Every structure is written in structure tokens, then in C-alpha cells.
Structure 1
Amino acid sequence: MKKSNSTYSILVLALAFVLLGTFSSQAQVLNQPVPADNPNLAGNSAWTAVCASSGFNEYFVNFTWDPPMVGGDNKFILELSDSDGYFADPTELAVVTDKNTTFDFEFQFELPEDMRGANFKMRVRSTSPAKTSPASEAFSMYFIDYNSPLLISENGSGSIPSGGQIQICGGGSVTLKPHNIPNADTYIYNWYRSGTLLAEKSESITVSDSGMYYVELDYGDCSGSANTLSNTIEITTGTSSGLAINGASNIEVCPGETYLLEANITGMGLTYTWYKDGTIISGPTVDGSTYTVDAGITGFEGSYEVEVDGAGVCKELSAPVTVSSSGSYEITLNNAESIVLLPSQSKTLSVATTATSASYQWFKDGSAITDATNNTLDINEVGEYYVEVTENGGPCTPAPMTSATTTVVSPDSFEFVVDYVSSYTSCESTDATLSLTTINAVSENGATTDVTGDLQSSFNYQWKLNGADIPGENSKTITISSQEGNGNYSLFGSLDTFDSTSNSLQVRLASNETLTITTNGTVLCEGGEAIVLSSATDLTNESFEWKKDGAVVSSSSESLTVSETGVYQLVITTNECPLVSNEITITEFDESLLVLDKTQDLIIIEGETKTLTASGAGSYEWYDAGNNLISSSSYYDFNEEGEYLLIATFGTCTVSRVITVTYRDMFAIPNVITTNGDGINDLWVLPNTYSRDPNVLVTIFNERGEQVFSQAGYENNWPQSTTSFNRQNMIFYYKITRGGKSLKQGTITVIK
């Protein structure tokens, strides 16, 4: 059977959509980036490693990709892995935004200054669509931030040995370390012995074998261009001469005496250097094989060593000898440096010592106290007291040692200091604890002595609020837990004939009450019901303020009518502290708060039901064309044509939406009619959507483009009885418009 032209056109169009869908299903292909030549340098070869520095840091990679096209807002991003080749936290090297129609281009990048490693990889990521290329091969990439020759010395001391030689005696060792590079521990090193690369990679190396030692920074494939190769130190070995210091390894010297240290190798014209606690104290001196320790000098105790050097011997350091003081002992005064002595009161001073056979002599104001020769002393007078302790046993007779001085004073008055001892914030805390923290004894000249530990349990106490006694509060601590206790607190104390009153502390506690304000709405709209803020708390005898955004807007009206958007609160001042209400936020009404899950113009098939659901409002009312309320739910089921009204309520505001429901046409625009007068398909009949609508214009043209028919509100009456067709299968063209906008167009085949 022969297909009509219109059927053929439909098949061709369908095939085009299939082909288009196949093409659209393809995805972009991002290829791995590869090193590229630097167009700003001579030569024509891509880099094989990145050896960047402050003097040069310009590199290029080539990137290619395949269509379909990326989005117009797409970005191509060149990313760098970590030094192990992983992209868990990639580094962004470059971003390109103007190559969305270029399938082959170069990224230019600089290597970040903290990058060092041999296994870096790169990849390219696109943003629209979001895709990632395969990773590149692994490359060495180093930013050479230090490119000067290193200098090495023993232990990094900075002292390079004469001739660059260090001799090791008797199987000893020496540590070599660079001393001229900052942050030395952040680098990796290549250590060499006589040209052989060693396994050590740290900043220092401890060696015991002879050889020529030097080092460079390990910059991988970039090491040669960094120019960090160090000086060379030659390590030689020799036989130990058995150097030692004569005598015992632990020596005690009596105070004031001397002791001679002597090396066991002498008389060979050798050079000697003496050390105490690792620091040179004598030498180097030719034939200086002895050193005198003077116990009469403070700090003589320590660890002593001697180093020998010269022709015929291996330079070496002796084992240490410890020198300490014989007969030394310690004394400790068991009393405070200051003591307050009240009238008719006595105190006991005491001393402790490590002396094995001690004798004592107490002093007052610099003079010895008769018969005061025990380790304790009872006192009842003011003055300055100390004790001399003498060691009477052991090999030495050391000079007496004097204790610290205790000053005993008689107070002219006492000073109390009270403070908050809990976390307290004025008008925020709901309780506060105050306590006596310090008792100072005040002398005639105004000097103060802290006697808290001695006397805090001796005073009688009374807390006062605003100057009046608080019944029952007679300890050194008080806790306030209600606003009724707000005020100024002080502590009074008495001891014998002394009275003292502390500083004053203000307590302002917050109320335990909750202040709540309410409102009849939170959305402000023109013409809507007034929004009124109020509180259930009686404000008649209260001092209060209404605030908007922190600023006072009223302090007289017990309720507040809102005319502006903002954040509102009520503040009552009670017991000198503010009581703050909850916040109520008033916003400008926004009609977009009403959300419909379908368009307001519903098209349904006659006999079916379609549900329209609204959300966002507080309540809803649905009305039909006769203004009859048909539902108060958030949704309505429509099954008849017509116009409906939805009124949504937001507090004091409302939003109206007109819903139009029409039936869907169940047949398409015909493209063939037969004018044979049999009453079947004689007229070109349009669906209801386009017929009998005065706003819709139907125009028909012949095959030469000449208009043959035009009618607004088409009555399904073409061809008219006067229309004649002079041949079989004539083709006409139609165009349907509304307000000048094209709705439909196509062909009509007329068969006679």
C-alpha cells in the first residue's frame, strides 16, 4: 500500500528524533593530560620532570577532549595529586574557562612551593558536565627552595675542622650535620662516603668508618640542578691511647679546699683541653695535663673531662669524673616568711636539715638569742628571726648555713577581701556565691602581709546586705539564690580588739520567671488584620519596654500594634535586672508562600478527576463560579469545567488564586478532507481548543501562498459551498494564531 506524503513526513521526523537521541546519549571524553613544550623557551621538547624555583616556574601540559559540547559555563580544571599519586585532596594548578569549543589546548601552571616528590600525577576535571579525565603518568616534581651548597660540621656546630679532617679513636663515632640551612629537618638528604650513596636520608649521620663524607639535598631527578653539594669531611681512625683522669670517678671535696685532676698521659709535648659539663674551661694547652678544682668557688660541682691531641697520639676524650661537695647539707625553715602576732599570742618557729650531726643558733633582729639552740623556737615578740645550722660530723668542717628569715609583725589593722567564687554574670546568673579570699595584716606604715592561712579560722564573721546584718550568715562564704537578695554585700569580721569590713560586691541575679509574648499573626500585609503583640503578665505596676530590633518603640502600652517588619521583644525591669521575653519575628507578606502542585489552568478529560493541592498557608477555602464554598481542605478534586476561586489564609493575610478547568480535546487536527458530498469528512473540523474562540484566528493558504480563507472564532465551516477545487489531491496550508502568536500550522490535503 502506498503511504501518503504526511505519513512519510512523520516517519522521517521520528527517525530524526531517534538519531538525535542516540547522539545526545554520547558523553564527552576527557583524555589524560601530557607534558607540553614551553613556547617561551628555545627548543621543542616537552618536560620530563618539574624542577621549579623562584627563578623559573612556568610549565605547560597538553589536554584534548571529544564532543558532545560542554556547557557554556563549563570550567576545565587542572589538578595535581599528592606526592604518592593520590587525589584524595588534589591541588588546583590552573583553571580555563574560554576553551569550551576547543578540543586541543594547553594549560599553563606553576608548581606550588611546598611540593617535593617523585610520583605526582595530574588530571583534568570539567564542571558542566562534571567529569574527570584519567590520571597522567607519574612525574618527579620539586620546588627547589634552597639551592646553595650545604656546609657540614661535627654535630652541626658550625666549626669545620682544620683541613676538613676528624680523627676517631678506639672504635668511636662522630655525627655530621649541615649547619647553614633553615628548617633542616623538613628536607630529605643524600649522604655519600667516598662517592658511594649511603642509605641514610635524615639531616644528620653518625659514622665510625673512615672515608670522605659529603651530602646534598635529595630533589630526586632535580638534585643535580639544585647545586646543594656540601663540603667534604675526611674521617680517619686511630688506636686509643687509653686516656683517663687519674683517681676515682666520683670525688668529694670539702668546702673551701682544692682538688687536682690529672690526666694519665703526660710528658710528651701533647695538647690538653679540659671540659666541665661539656664546656671548655681550660686549654688547649701544651703539657697542661692537670686542672685544679676550687671548692671555694660557687658552682664548682660537675662532670669533668680532658681531651688530648698531638703528634703520635689519637685525639680522644676521657671518661668523665664527677666532683661534688663533701659535707654539704640543706636546711629548711618550716614557717612562712611573714607571721602576724597578736597581743598575748605566741608562735613556734622550726627548722629541718639534712645535716647528720647538727647544732643550732637562733637570731632575732641580727643578734643571737641566749639558749636558743634547738631546732624549734617559741616567740611572743615582733622582729626578724632566722637560725644558723652547723654540721659537726663527716670529714669536713663546713661553715654554718643560715636559714631564710621570718618576719614577725604586730598588725595595726586587718583588711578583708571578698570575691565571687562561682561563675557569676550580673543579671544573667540565677545564683551567686561570695567568699572571703584574703586577710591582710596592715602595719603602721601601710605594708600588708597575707595572713589568711593563719587567721581565717580565728575571726568571727557577719555578712551584710546594703549595710544591714543578714541573720544567720556567719561563715566566710554566702550563697544568694533569688532576686530578693539583690544588693551590695560585704563581710564584717572581729578578732580580739580588731574589727574589719571587706570590700563591697554587687549581686544582681536574673529572675527565675519566664516572660512570654504572643501574637495573632506574624505576617504583615496591606489591608490585613492588624497584628497585635501582648503578654499574659500583668504590666500595670511594671517598668517595661517594647523593642523592635533592639530599639525601644514603646514603654507605655501593655500591648503593641505592629506596623513594621522586624524582631520584637518585651523587656521588664525587675529588681534592677531586665526580664527578657521570647522573640517574635514579623515578616513582610510574600504571595509566593502559597504553593500549588499544578498549574492554575487545569485541563482534564471529560469524566476524569484531577486533584490540585495547595501548601504553605494556615487555612484554605475553595469556591465555585457561583461563589459557593465547596471545600476547606488543602486540596480539591476537579471533574467539571469552569472557573474556581481559592482563598489561602496566612495569619491576617490572604492570597486568592483563580483556577480554570477545561476539557482536553480527544482528537487531533485533521490533515485530509474529502469533498465528495457524502456528508462524511466534507469539512475541516478543528478541536474545541481552536474552534469557536474569538481570540483564535484560522487562516488557510493555497499552494502558491495565496490566502483563501481567514476567520476568527472558526465555525468548522471550510470549505464553504462556494469553494471549488479544479483537480484531485490539492494541498493547502493552514496557520492558527492567538494574539499574533502561532499555535499550530500544517497542511490540508483535499480529495475530490
Structure 2
Amino acid sequence: MKNFTIIYLLALLFTLCVSENISAQIVISKPNLGFTQACASPSFNDYNVTFTFSPVSGVSASNQFIIELSDENGLFDSPTTVYTSAEGSVTTSPVTFTFSVPTTIAGEAFKVRVKSTSPAATSSSSVAFSAYYKIQDTPFSINNLIATGAYCSSGSYLLTIDNPGDINNDSPLQYPSLTFNWYKETSATTSVFVDSGETLSVSEPGIYFAETNYGTCTSNSYSNRVTITESDSETTSEIISSLGNSYCSNDGPTTLSTISGLSYQWFKDDSEISGATDQTFETNESGTYTVKINLGDCSSSATIDLDNGGFSSSIDVPENTSIEEGETLFATLTTDAINPEFEWYLNDVLIPGEINNSYEATQTGSYKVVVTQTTGCVASNEFIFVITEPFPDVADIPNLISPNGDGINDTWIIPQEYVNGANAEVMILSSRGEIVLQTNDYKNNWPENELNFIDVNPVYYFIIKTTNNQTKKGSITVIK
């Protein structure tokens, strides 16, 4: 009886252990993908995977489910964890998780699998799928956007992806994880793969282009087409302006680019530009630009009539004008600006309502008119002119002034043949021989500032030299 009891207890203990081991196991199904391709980008990177597990009661309160991503060949030697659930958060089946792919992912045969932690279990792997993260997904340029290239017989032409990128060209070379494929067109709608890499050496005529390698994922990351020809002597190429043609000079200089060659020489309006021997040339001037390109055993040339988008204007009044009291001055501005706008100012104050290309001035002062081209290249020109009262026509050079602010004889007023516009040199010296005024455009305005009366009725001296070499000399006594 004693032996039977021992055997019974051992059998019961064995049954309990087996039951416990069975309850600690779960089976995870093969993951079901909610997508066929993972073509991710900065604006979209969410992908669903669904699986089942049983028994539901088999998971512990601390269990976590993990989604692992294989390498590009579908191998899990060094898997990447793309999702981990919170402890004990999953208690029902089936389960759907959303995960994101790494930003460096690229390949055609990725897989995922699901693992649990308590108890430990691993599903079989999913079906294979292509996955790429399209970090750059806009068109880019090759060959400096120049649509042609040429090579000499038995030579080759090097096509390159343009870099660095800017606001007009998001170069894929800025992203080290990307690779590139080159193609040659075989018809208007078909092409063949040529090679991979950042550059392509072409030794056969044809139309070539590049694409960022996003595999079977559709993408907008492709280049312009370039037509390559073979030359025996000289070919005609083209020049591209980085800011377009015409371009707006207010945006700064534009860069002129031509095809790849061994050496270059640039010309402007048929004159050689000293030192301009690179593939590119920067300028902010309109004109006809030509470049001679040495291709080795042959040559090429290209020309562009560059327009910087400016406009011309003129005004029909002189910079300085005198008018009598009651007279007016009618000023007209002529321009070829597109959709021009006009603003008139008097002494730097905007004159309200004056928006036409002409203005009738009735006051003395400093005038300014600003014309702005509002379509295309937005730019402005301005013109300044001054209206004054005419200078008094005195007969003699005075030798006495009284700058006391009473409006009578406050400044030294001399005959009109020596003042503004006469180009006579007027020099005034102190009694110590110091030059206090020297000008070829005297405006009857000395002294403009208050004089320091160290002496009673100080004496100054003047020298006037006319354009015909006549000289007038004398003294000026200043009284209060």
C-alpha cells in the first residue's frame, strides 16, 4: 500500500508539470501584411500587420509582442525591431499592429515575423515585400540641366548628377543612403538599364537619364534627359542660365553653365573675358555670351543672349531748375517698364494721389519720382530733381554781409555769372588764410552756419576763378 501511494503521488506530480508546460506555450500565426509594398516617405510611413495567437490564455501579464524586420534578402540573422507592445497590453486575438520602416531601408525581399516574450514564441516569416524609404522624391538635374552633350570620335562624355542641391534642385546626392540607375531611351516610351552610380561615362550616341533607385516603388526622383552625340570636328551646344533667361537682376547674379569639356573660354559681346576659363561663369549683366569648349580632338561652342530683366526710364527735366514765383515745372517720366507704378515725393514726403508718369510742380524743393516694374522682374528706378528760386541778378560782388537773420543781406550774394551752373571756382578764406569754403557750384548760401565772432566785424577774403581763367579777388566784412 505504501508503494502504491508513492507511485500515485509521483504520477500526479508528473501530470501537473506537463499541464503547466502545456499552458505556458502559445502558437503565433504567419503575419498577414496589410500592404504589398512599403514605399515610405517623410509624409507617410505607417504599415499594418495582423496575426493570431492561441491559446489566448497562454500569455502572461508581462508578455510583449515584437515585430521584427529581416534584411533585404529576407534573412533574420540580425533583425530590426520595428514594433514592441506594452507589457500585458494584448490579451485577445487576432491582433493588428502599425509599424514604420527605417529611413535607410532599400530592397525587394524584406519579411517580418512576430515574437512573444512570455511565453517565448516566434511566428513563421511573412511573404516577401519590397521596401524603400523615399527620402528624396522630386525631379533633379544632371549635366547642369543642359539638354545636350558631345564627345569626340573614340572618346566619351561624362554625365553627372548635379550637386549641391538648392531651392531649385533637391539633389539626391545630399542623401548618402541613396543609389542611382542610368538608362538609355530606346523609344519615346521605353528605355534600357545601362549602369549604376553617381556618374555615367557615355561612349554611344543616344538620350540618357538617371533615376534614384527605389526599386519597384514608383517615384518622382528622376532627372532631365540629355542627348549625347559623337563629333568629328566642331559641334554646337547650349548655355543655361541658373536663374532663367530673362532673369531678375535684383535676385543677384546668375550662373551660366555649359557642357562638360577639357577647357573653356568665355566671351561677352565678342570680347574675351579675362580669367573666365571654367565650365560656369557668373554675371549680373545683360549681353551676348559665348563659350568655346575644348573636347580634346574636337571642339564645341555655345551662345546665349542674356537678358537681366531690367527696364529703362528717363525724365525730361534737369537736376536743378529755377522758377519764378507763380511759375510751374511740368515733369514727365518715360519708361518701358511692364505695368509701371509711379510715386512722387517732395522733400522725401509722398505726394498723395500722384500716381501718373507726369507731375506739375508748383513749389520749390527737392523732388523724387520712383517708377516700379510690377510684372516679371520687379525692380525700381528713381529720379531726383531740385527746384529753386532764381538767384538774384546783382551787378557787383559785395564786400559786406550781415548774417543776423533779418532776411536782408544775410548771405554773400554774387553775380549770376559766378554762381550755380557757371562752374566758377569760389574760395573764401579767413583772415588767417584758412579755407572756409571752396566750391565750383556756389549757391549764394555762405555762411550756412552761424559764424564765430572772435573779432568785431571779422574780415574774410574771396578768390573767384572763372572757366576762362579770369580771377576776382577781394574782402568780405561781416557785421552783426
Q: What TM-score do the two structures reach when normalised by structure 2?
A: 0.44
Query: Between Structure 1 and Structure 2, whose CA radius of gyration is higher?
Result: 1
Q: Which has the larger strand fraction?
A: 1
Q: What TM-score do the two structures reach when normalised by structure 1?
A: 0.29
Q: Relative contact order: is structure 1 or structure 2 higher (C-alpha 8 Å, sep ≥ 6)?
A: 2
